[in-house]
């Protein structure tokens, strides 16, 4: 593809193909721009139009969470790592997709099984798992005030350990902001 | 040659040393190797995810179902082998394109499970550009074997300087600059428009990201809480971010502007890390910006530092250069 150094005319001639390739590459790299004008833009890889952080946000945030409930009914937030692999945002999106597709029970069972397997530290006290969607007020959250506006339960399941560790009732859970990894 | 041609020639075909391109090959190759090897187990777990969550895109857009975990592992291993050949510059004419394409397929597949990790984009583009262009003309097995064949010592060979290396480096820089430009345009074309730079809008992006993390048991950045009340600061950051993103193409026009832009973009990513806790590793490591700097000069600098720190035997004569002078 590359000629050796020669006279000016030959050099100019030799740059024609690189110039053409450059033009083609620029067109390809800039092609995701078109997504901005589409009604339903599609992101891709590696040719992305980089839509992250470009959407308007409301004063409230609605998102899914995994809650652990201990024998006393104390609730704590469980780590996303119990729900899947592939990084925070991938698991978050997969959780949302599963909840939307009414597969929260499957997620719940998977998380409960992982909690049972781990059997260490705070996780050893978790008796049941809940998959929920919570709505939070953003300003109150950052003011360290009670920010939860609502909560919807999608699934509740017992952690498969000893029979006596499985709670009979998990809906009497108390709220707490403790996070269990 | 008219003036437009001359300008385009200066932008796209500046003469640059082969060693600069080689430095990019080695640095980016090492990072890619670490990135893939460190995630080997995690990638396998991702490949074993429930099939209903598979949404193929990029180079694997045509797939109707996921491949077996065994086939994916073979792809992983092949990518790492090609990656190693890419780093050492062995048969680059074949292993370079192979590595670029394998990495493209591997990361397209990895990003086909409901989430695109945008921090991978630039690395793949850079690997493709470096893989298909003569990035192994220096500091490589190919160059060493060629020098041995020709009977000359490679260390004594003068560094090659040619527009074809400058062109490749400019393409790498263009891949970087365009990705930032696209991100800037997407923000302006989104439902916020120019309001994106208002402190409230940017702050809401940071806030949502923080609450998401809190709800799923991920650690939240303390700085997001500390800065939340200071809307003016978010306005400042928003304006600066937009200048960096929309101004990215200017970085291609002039080396000094390019270096200044790269330093600002680099600082932006560290700011994102501190405020949002997002680790764009390729960007935070500065690898995405290497093409804007004469990085090959770091090598003699590093050698000099090594000599400085190395214990010297007073009886040992100083090394003599090929020109006969004492270094």
Report the percent of chain A where pLDDT is more than 90: 70
Q: Is residue B311 pLDDT above 80, yes or no?
A: no
How many angstroms from the chain centroid is the CA of residue B256? Answer: 19
Q: Given CB atoms, is B2 within the 8 Å cutoff of chain A? A: no
Q: Are residues A27 and A79 in the same domain?
A: no
pLDDT of B322 higher than 60? no
pLDDT-derived band at B151, boundaries 50, 70, 90 = confident
**A102 and A35 belong to one structural domain:** no
* Judgement on whether residues A110 and A145 belong to the same structural domain of the protein: yes
A77 shares its domain with A5: no
- pTM for the predicted model, two decimal places: 0.86
pLDDT of A139: 94
Q: A81 and A28, same structural domain?
A: no
8 Å CB contact of B12 and A18 = yes
Domain boundary among A55, A81, A100: A55
For residue B321, what pLDDT band results from cuts at 50, 70 and 90?
Answer: very low
Decide if B243 contacts B171 (C-beta within 8 A): no
Considering the domain architecture, whether residues A68 and A125 belong to the same structural domain is answered as yes
Higher pLDDT, A165 or B170: B170
Provide the domain limits for residue A70. 60-180
Task: Give the C-alpha separation, B255 to B259, whole Å.
Answer: 6
Residue B320's pLDDT band (cuts 50, 70, 90):
very low
User: Tens digits of per-residue pLDDT, B61-118?
Assistant: 999 999 999 999 999 999 999 999 999 999 999 999 999 999 999 999 999 998 999 9
State both tokens at B16: 């640059």
The rounded distance, in Å, linking the Cα atoms of A156 and B208 is 26
Q: With an 8 Å Cβ cutoff, is B235 touching chain A? A: no
**Which residues in chain B have Cβ-Cβ distances shorter than 8 Å to A64?**
215-216
The domain tally of chain A equals 2
Closest CA to B257 of B238, B268, B271, B243: B243
**Which chain A residues are closer than 8 Å to B208 by Cβ?**
57, 61, 138
pLDDT at A85 over 60: yes
* Min Cα–Cα distance to chain A from B214, Å: 8
Digit-coded pLDDT (tens) for B222-234: 999 999 999 999 9
Q: Mean per-residue pLDDT for B203-214?
A: 94
Lowest model confidence (mean pLDDT) among A45-49, A75-79, B96-100, B276-280: B276-280
- Asked if B35 is an interface residue toward chain A (Cβ–Cβ < 8 A), one would say no
- Are residues A160 and A90 located together in one domain of the fold? yes
Interface residue of A47, A49, A86 to substitute, partner B, most B CBs within 10 Å:
A86
- A20 shares a domain with A64: no
DSSP per-residue codes, B70-117: HHHHHHHHHHHHHHHHHHHTSSHHHHHHHHHHHHHHHHHHHT-SS---
> pLDDT tens-digit profile of A111-135?
999 999 987 788 889 999 999 999 9
Q: Which pLDDT score is estimated for B323? A: 37
Sheet holding A75-78, edge to edge: A148-158, A126-137, A60-70, A75-78, A179-180
Query: Does position A177 have pLDDT exceeding 70, yes or no?
Result: no
A78–B208 C-beta distance less than 8 A: no
Distance (Å) from the C-alpha of residue A153 to the closest C-alpha of chain B? 14
Same domain, A159 and A75: yes
Taking the CA of residue A161 and the nearest CA in chain B, the distance in Å comes to: 23
Residue A5 pLDDT greater than 70, yes or no: no
Q: In this complex, which of B162, B178, B204 lies closest to A57 when CB atoms are compared?
A: B204
Co-location of A76 and A46 in the same domain: no
By Cβ distance, the residue of A33, A47, A85 closest to B185 is A33
Task: Check whether B209 has a pLDDT greater than 80.
Answer: yes
**What b/e sequence results for B142-158 when a residue is b if at least 16 CB atoms lie within 10 Å of its CB, and e otherwise?**
bbbeeeeeeeeeeeeee
Residue A112 and residue A132 in one domain: yes
DSSP-derived 3-state class of residue A180: strand
Provide the ipTM: 0.87
CB A48 within 8 A of CB A32: yes
Do A176 and A158 have their domain in common? yes
- The domain boundary, picked from A36, A55, A74, lies at A55
Please give the mean pLDDT across all residues of chain B.
90
pLDDT at B186 over 70: yes
CA angle B120, B10, A3 (to 5 degrees): 85
Residue A53 has what pLDDT? 87
């Amino acid at each position: 593809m590359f000629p050796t150094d020669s006279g000016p005319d030959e050099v100019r001639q030799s740059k024609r193909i690189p110039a053409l390739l450059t033009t083609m590459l620029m067109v390809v790299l800039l092609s995701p721009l078109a997504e901005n004008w589409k009604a339903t833009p599609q992101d891709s890889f590696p040719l992305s139009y980089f839509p992250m952080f470009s959407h308007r946000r409301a004063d409230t945030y609605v998102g899914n969470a995994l809650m652990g409930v201990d024998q006393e009914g104390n609730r704590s937030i469980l780590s996303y790592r119990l729900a899947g692999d592939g990084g925070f945002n991938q698991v978050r999106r997969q959780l949302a997709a599963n909840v939307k597709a009414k597969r929260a029970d499957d997620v719940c069972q998977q998380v409960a099984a992982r909690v049972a397997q781990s059997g260490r530290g705070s996780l050893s006290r978790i008796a049941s798992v809940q998959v929920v969607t919570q709505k939070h007020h953003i300003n109150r959250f950052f003011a360290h005030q009670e920010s939860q506006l609502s909560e919807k339960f999608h699934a509740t399941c017992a952690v498969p350990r000893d029979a006596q560790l499985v709670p009979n009732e998990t809906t009497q859970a108390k709220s707490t902001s403790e996070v269990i990894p | 040659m008219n003036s437009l041609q001359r300008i385009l020639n200066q932008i796209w075909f500046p003469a640059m040393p082969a060693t600069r391109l080689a430095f990019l090959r080695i640095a980016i190759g090492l990072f890619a190797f670490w990135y893939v090897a460190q995630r080997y187990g995690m990638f396998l777990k991702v490949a074993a995810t429930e099939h209903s969550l598979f949404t193929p895109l990029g180079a694997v857009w045509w797939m109707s179902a996921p491949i077996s975990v065994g086939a994916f592992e073979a792809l992983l291993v092949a990518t790492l082998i090609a990656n190693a050949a890419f780093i050492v510059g062995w048969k680059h004419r074949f292993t370079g394109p192979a590595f670029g394409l394998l990495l493209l397929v591997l990361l397209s597949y990895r990003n086909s499970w409901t989430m695109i990790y945008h921090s991978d984009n630039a690395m793949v583009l850079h690997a493709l550009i470096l893989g298909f262009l003569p990035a192994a003309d220096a500091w490589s097995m190919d160059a060493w074997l060629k020098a041995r064949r020709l009977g000359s010592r490679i260390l004594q060979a003068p560094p090659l300087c040619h527009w074809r290396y400058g062109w490749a480096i400019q393409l790498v820089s263009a891949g970087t600059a365009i990705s930032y430009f696209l991100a800037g345009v997407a923000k302006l074309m989104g439902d916020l428009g120019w309001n994106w730079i208002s402190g409230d809008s940017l702050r809401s992006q940071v806030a949502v990201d923080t609450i998401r993390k809190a709800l799923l048991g991920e650690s939240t950045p303390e700085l997001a809480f500390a800065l939340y009340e200071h809307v003016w600061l978010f306005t400042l950051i928003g304006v600066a971010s937009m200048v960096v993103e929309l101004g990215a193409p200017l970085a291609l026009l002039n080396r000094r502007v390019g270096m200044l832009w790269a330093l600002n973009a680099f600082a932006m990513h560290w700011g994102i890390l501190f405020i949002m806790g997002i680790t764009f590793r390729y960007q935070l490591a500065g690898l995405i910006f290497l093409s804007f700097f004469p990085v090959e000069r770091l090598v003699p600098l590093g050698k000099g530092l090594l000599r400085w720190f190395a214990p010297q035997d007073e009886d040992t004569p100083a090394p003599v250069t090929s020109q006969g002078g004492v270094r």
